[in-house]
Structure 1
Amino acid sequence: MPAIEQYFPHDYREARHAFIAAAEANDLGVTSRLHPAENGADGKPLFLDTATIGERDAKTALLLISGTHGVEGYFGSGVQTGLLREGLAQRAAKGTKIVLLHALNPFGFSWDRRVNEDNADINRNFADFANPPRNPAYDELADAIALSDLSPGTMKAANAKLRAYSDKYGAFKLQEAISTGQYHHPGGIYFGGARESWSHRMLQDVFREELKGVKTLIAIDFHTGLGEHGAAEMITEDLPGSAAYKRAKTMWGDALQSSEAGESVSPPLQGTVDKAVAHWMKGRELTFAALEVGTRSTRDVFNALRRDNWLHLNAKPNDPDWARVKQEIRDAFYPDTADWKHSVWNHAAKAVDAALAAIA
């Protein structure tokens, strides 16, 4: 059996090939949805791929999602491929199925971006675009969040403005202002988009096809970038006391934290996949959590996002800053070390084990 770290890919193309090979080794068919308008960093087509284990018409399902935030897909893809290689295909109980959704945002995965081809954050893209939410705090700080250039002077001035806000309102309020989601600064970060993205529409399609008729669903969306290096939280948007929170707490124990209740490393968010799935599953039983694993400090992750945002708005792949900034954002969301991979693999395997036990 390969060492755990071998399941984690070096790039999107390798990740896709490894996922498909692992599915086919288990006699699983793969459904591939081709991105109609974009290619990867290697110039080749991009796909959202799914594989289904178990009974196609099962009413109880486990959904495992990777790559919602593009560059975070190294983690989720590695987990999906590793689970397939380590026997997941034999673990669907009678009357259940497991749906693996690989690379919800393949553009971001291939280009080492957290966002998609429209600079949109897929986990903020499920909003009412006729009346998008406002984020006045982001409006106030927009010119300090998204950099006009990468010079030390610009960074220093921008950081001074952010520091003043933090001193006045607190560090968590600053994090909330920046990352909750915004819909009026398309050149900024955490932009929820101006319309439904291709990834948004394809996730809907997965629910129409692979998850049609499901009455009970557990969903785990794999993420990186928040929390201590190698640590993990199962983040729910359900409030303590709700039936969904109680189910999740029974399943994942002390790892579960509610962002809406202020328990989590994440502030409350707008336009999330979680909210969309809850809407689509209305009247049925849903237990949804994001498995968030820590990578680097909040400051390092934030600065990597700012530089990457500037890069894609102002530079080309032959720009002298390109390789350095791309390595920085990759490192911010994917520490390419054996220790980190073993740690996050263990968190993921434990979370999936608990979910499988709950639907058995």
Structure 2
Amino acid sequence: MSVSSHFSASYEEARSKFLDAAAAAGATLERFDNPAENPRGVDLSTDVARLGDPAAPAMLLTFSGTHGAEGFCGSGVQVAWLADGFWKEVPDSVQQVHVHAINPYGFASLSRTTEDNIDLNRNFVDHANPPVNEGWPKIQPVLCPTEWNDGTLDQMKAGVEAFVEEHGFWAFREAATSGQYRDPKGIFYGGSAPGWSRRTVETIVGKYCKGLKQLAVIDYHTGLGPRGFGERIIDHLPDTPGYGRAMDWYGGDASSPYLGTSTSAKLTGQMLDWIDRALTGTEVTAIALEYGTEPEDKVIGALTSDNWLRFHGDLSSARGREIKQKVRDAFYQDANDWKQMIWDRALDTQRLALQGLTR
């Protein structure tokens, strides 16, 4: 069966393929129902497949759909891993847990955020004392317009260029994307409280990962970098054991936002950071595997237009349908060569993680 066949055109198809592949592999399955109402009337859930001895001291843990519409990529990898029997490569000393569609609302509705407009990968903070993004008030009027017409993207581009000229590119990147906790209707909103998806992550980690000696985590993402290339982004701070292990496991083929070697800015409230903090006594080695799709200006345009659509537009209108197609294109390339690149890098990465766990 070709790799392309393991990818899906919708959340429902992806979930069905994942459940079928996991059941055929003999995995133990658990379902977490999301009570949010999806605009298309689809039942929403996060599904967890577990394989191996629950008493094994090490685990490979994968996530798809952290950023909803990015879930096509990670789901395709998880399905291929299970359906084509690669899960059998995992030694007896390592158990594996695959979390499918941790943000099912965003996956099903072709949005990056959750039902509460929360960016899940900015939600893992102390909301009683959230981080302050000092640059956000300056860039918010540029990136979150209340009206959308044929000239909006050009106006946005001009506003971004003016901000970059005055403050620098990385100041823009961090102001725009690092996370903000002021504007519930803005992009990259980290929420005012733990959302459903965060609480589900906490439940899954608490149930499956407590007491492990070693944990390798791979969180699948799309939207940054060259088309089809998978950047291994290390979330651990430099000069920490986790960072050292990740660089060792992946042969130095990894990047760090903290060292300026990544396409990603330094972020606040990341899921992988929280997992590392939560599992005291466990050697956590966590990366995000980030795949490029389209040029960054198109990705940002898709994000901002989708945000406008949620709060100001009409989903059923011609413009609404056009925006949703742009979101899909920004986070999923329905092309066989792209899917093959996704799978090749993912397979190499998961195999290297397994080697690291068993050294």
Q: TM-score range by the shorter chain?
A: over 0.9
* Aligned equivalent of 1:272: 270
**CA deviation map 1:289-342 (0-9, x unaligned):** 000011111111000000000001123332221111000010001011111111
* Aligned equivalent of 2:313: 315
Q: 1:72 to 1:242 in 2, by over 3 A?
A: same
- Equivalent position to 1:98, from 89, 93, 96: 96
* Aligned equivalent of 2:259: 261
* Aligned equivalent of 1:147: 145
When the two structures are superposed, what TM-score results if normalisation uses the length of structure 1?
A: 0.96
Q: How far did residue 87 of structure 1 move?
A: 1.4
SS in 1 for 2:339: helix
* Aligned equivalent of 2:329: 331
CA distance in 1 between counterparts of 2:212 and 2:223 reads: 31
* Aligned equivalent of 1:8: 7
Is 2:50–2:95's contact at 8 Å kept on the other side of the alignment?
A: yes
CA distance in 2 between counterparts of 1:71 and 1:154 reads: 23
When the two structures are superposed, what TM-score results if normalisation uses the length of structure 2?
A: 0.96
Stretches of structure 1 lacking an aligned partner (at least 5 in a row): none
CA distance in 2 between counterparts of 1:285 and 1:10 reads: 36
Is 1:53–1:92's contact at 8 Å kept on the other side of the alignment?
A: no
Q: How far did residue 30 of structure 1 move?
A: 1.1
* Aligned equivalent of 1:197: 195
Is 2:42–2:108's contact at 8 Å kept on the other side of the alignment?
A: no
Is 1:127–1:270's contact at 8 Å kept on the other side of the alignment?
A: yes
**CA deviation map 1:226-263 (0-9, x unaligned):** 00111121101223432211211111123211111211
Return the letter of the residue paired with 1:266. Answer: S
Is 1:116–2:114 an aligned residue pair? Answer: yes
Return the letter of the residue paired with 1:163. Answer: E
The count of residues paired between Structure 1 and Structure 2 equals: 358
Q: How far did residue 41 of structure 1 move?
A: 4.3
* Aligned equivalent of 1:18: 17
- Equivalent position to 1:163, from 149, 161, 164: 161
Is 1:239–1:261's contact at 8 Å kept on the other side of the alignment?
A: no
Q: Deviating runs (4+, > 6 A) in structure 1?
A: none
Q: Percent identity?
A: 36
Is 1:8–1:15's contact at 8 Å kept on the other side of the alignment?
A: yes
Is 1:345–2:343 an aligned residue pair? Answer: yes
CA distance in 1 between counterparts of 2:25 and 2:191 reads: 38
Aligned-pair Cα RMSD in Å: 1.3
**CA deviation map 1:67-100 (0-9, x unaligned):** 0000000000000000001213322312320100
CA distance in 1 between counterparts of 2:23 and 2:40 reads: 24
* Aligned equivalent of 1:301: 299
Question: Larger deviation: 60-69 or 160-169?
Answer: 160-169
Stretches of structure 2 lacking an aligned partner (at least 5 in a row): none
**CA deviation map 1:210-239 (0-9, x unaligned):** 223212111000000000111121101223
CA distance in 1 between counterparts of 2:74 and 2:152 reads: 35
Question: Larger deviation: 300-309 or 252-261?
Answer: 252-261
